Amino acid sequence: MILRRLVCAALLFLWITIGQASALADGCPQNGDWINTDRPTQTNSSSVVPEGSVQAESGVNWSVGQGSTVLDGPEMRLRLGVARCLEVLFDVPNYSYSLNGPAGSGFSDSVLSIRYQVAAVPDPFQLSTTAGLGFPTGGKDVAGEGWNPYFQLPWLAALTQQSSPECFH
């Protein structure tokens, strides 16, 4: 059952990526454009970084829930624009420390992903496909066991038409 879902997700990712390869990439960022950060634990951007760009994002997360308070960091994501509308992402393992409650402490997994921004989407929408694989490098209390594949369709729908702030040009 899990293998069937993985195969379907991989086929969908390939269909979207290859099927859009001939579309004009007008919606993809270019060097000099405003960059939208992922904030790794908060959201996944539907926009890629421009081709030839490298972006490093880092932060610390403090979460409270399910009877536990957890502090983890540094959460670090490296993003590399490898082609027009295409980026490679690498999530560096971070350390989670349970301040109280039943949550475990330890390192997270390393994650390698690829994201393609679908260019043939009408304004004001933005869509990308992301597929990744978590490598079993972290502690079992935090990251679980084994390899962790994932597939996402991050999207954005602008509520208003506004230009990027002048300080980002």
Tens digit of pLDDT at every position of the chain (169 positions): 666 666 666 666 655 555 544 444 456 877 776 666 666 566 677 788 888 989 888 888 898 988 999 999 888 999 999 998 999 999 999 999 999 999 889 999 999 999 999 877 777 788 899 999 999 988 888 888 889 999 998 888 878 765 544 444 3
Amino acid sitting at position 77:
R
The H-or-E segment that residue 3 falls in is: helix 2-19
For residue 161, what pLDDT is reported? 64
CA proximity to 138, closest of 95, 101, 167: 95
Check if the beta carbon of residue 116 is closer than 8 Å to that of residue 85.
Answer: yes
What count of Cα atoms within 13 Å lies in the side-chain half-sphere of residue 137? 13
pTM for this entry: 0.71
- pLDDT at residue number 167: 40
CA gap 30, 15 in Å, rounded:
24
Q: Answer yes or no: are the C-beta atoms of 116 and 88 closer than 8 Å.
A: no
